[in-house]
Amino acid sequence: MSLLNVFNIAGTGMTAESVRLNLTASNLANADSAASSTGQTYRARYPVFEAMTNPLVPQASAEGVRVLGVVQSQSPLRSEYAPNNPLADKNGYIHLPNVNVVEQMADMISASQSYQSNVDVINTSKQLLLKTLTLGQ
Amino acid sequence: MPISIDQSLGILPRALQLGSQRAEILASNLANADTPGYKARDIDFSAALSRTQGGTLALETASPGQMQPPAAQSGASLMYRIPIQPTVDGNTVDAQGQYAEFGRNGLQYEASLTFLTDRIKTLITAITGN
């Protein structure tokens, strides 16, 4: 039954988008987490999505989406001269994450809208299935 | 007058099957709206439906019991959607367009269901004779 499969597909979409939302929340929460060295500094994290295809039928349509993994942003960290900060290194600098708050907000809106469209897909399919169940009555 | 229930339902069961198949493909496109490099897929609904009507896609079988491959059964061939605008990550899903298509597909499915219900009621009337 294809319509029941829609639940699985949209479910994988919701899972992937919620992982993305989680990472955005983590990035935003740590946007100002200072550290004494560049090694300890928080780096912006991003999910990597991949389409799930059936390996036996590669030409068929995808069966959803999965999160391959989480990567850390390679963009340069920010350094700030703050000799009074208890976390400052011996030169008086603190190191701040490479989180771009504006970019994260845009990412958050995109993720929540994609999540919502997956929820709507499930709702529509549910209505269609319920109507199919009452066929002929 | 001989009545074949299969014939009296006409094309509607096929339309339902194709509609649910297309719903699956569109849901898959929407789930992959943010996947880099994903290419949106779709089927040409009316072409697929007319092909099942003509039965041109059915394979020749040696004996009547042999099964048809799934693609030939539904008559639907998967194609790639042409993107409206290019994206940096190579994704060709137009989320809003796909969502509109999904809504329309749902409505068509519901319409087929309504017509099918009417036909079933007609048959029931014929069978019970009231």
Model confidence at B59: pLDDT above 70: no
**CB spacing of A3 vs B30 below 8 angstroms:** no
Tokens of B26: 């569109």
List pLDDT tens digits, range A17-70: 999 999 999 999 999 999 999 889 999 999 999 999 888 877 778 889 999 999
**CB spacing of A117 vs B30 below 8 angstroms:** yes
List pLDDT tens digits, range B76-129: 678 888 888 888 888 999 988 999 999 999 999 999 999 999 999 988 998 898
CB contact at 8 A, B20 and B28: no
Cβ-Cβ contacts under 8 Å, A121 against chain B: 26-27, 30, 102
List pLDDT tens digits, range B85-95: 888 888 999 98
What global pTM score does this model have? 0.82
Cβ-Cβ contacts under 8 Å, A117 against chain B: 30, 33, 95, 99
DSSP labels for B66-129?
Answer: PPPPHHHHHT--EEEPPPSS--TT-----HHHHHHHHHHHHHHHHHHHHHHHHHHHHHHHHHHT
How many CA atoms, within 13 angstroms, populate the side-chain half-sphere of residue B129?
0
Q: Indicate the average pLDDT of chain B.
A: 82
Q: Nearest by CB to A13, which of B31, B106, B116?
A: B31
Q: Nearest by CB to A117, which of B28, B95, B116?
A: B95
When scoring B34, B73, B101 by the number of chain A Cβ atoms within 10 A, the one with the most, hence best to mutate, is B34
ipTM above 0.95, yes or no: no
**CB spacing of A137 vs B109 below 8 angstroms:** no
Q: Give the SS3 label for residue B45.
A: helix
Burial class (CB in 10 A: 0-12, 13-18, 19+), B65: exposed
Higher local confidence (pLDDT), A50 or B64: A50
Looking at residue B72, its pLDDT comes to 46
> Could you give the CA distance from residue B19 to residue A112 in angstroms, rounded to a whole number?
27
Looking at residue B129, its pLDDT comes to 86
